[in-house]
Amino acid sequence: MLNLAVFISGGGTNLQSLIDSCRSGKLKAEIKAVISNNSKAFGLERARQAGIEAFHISQVVYPDNAVYINTMTKILEDKNIDLIVLAGYMKLLPIDIVRKYSGMIINIHPALLPKYGGKGMYGINVHKAVIDAGDKFSGATVHLVDEKYDQGKILIQRQVPVMADDTPESLAARVLEIEHQILPLAVELFIK
């Protein structure tokens, strides 16, 4: 059984797809902790409703960087985390965590990397950029996290067509459906 920590910043729909996959038995994993940098993230409530421990860890609460990193590390160690899943986590993970868990952190991104990755490319900004560029396809990517934004090895990608009448919001909704499908598949790759 793979022990997961899922990091979120918002509504947690990708978290929900993982919860559902674990509960149905499709995914031989258990979510041991949900961590958010946003105390108002609905994903924290999703976790609590599923009986998963949820933590708000931000530099607002822990302004001392060492305490911030140590708090995060202690949870990951106490829960024997095998894989960290960034599922809509809108903050860079501390480099100490990235190094300590190298090869054991994945991120889902709402575009076909390497296009539309990096600083500022998150949420609706990505979909706006895809439409503005006139791309015929968009999609979602799950990749390993390394020390550079959205640069790690790509594990899974799926594409969706960009329709002529798409708005950033309508494209985002279609890409999100794909995210919900491929995130559990990417976690599966780590199950031995």
What is the set of active-site residues?
109
C-alpha distances out from residue 145 to 13, 41, 62, Å: 20, 22, 24
Write the CA distances from 58 to 7, 80, 98, integer angstroms.
12, 21, 17
- What is the C-alpha to C-alpha distance for residues 108 and 71, in angstroms, rounded to an integer? 24
Over the range 155-164, which residues count as b (16 or more CB within 10 Å of their CB) and which as e?
Answer: bbbbebebee
Q: What tokens does 87 get?
A: 């599922």
Amino acid at 43: G
Share of the chain residues as helix, strand and coil, in percent rounded to the nearest 5: 35, 20, 40
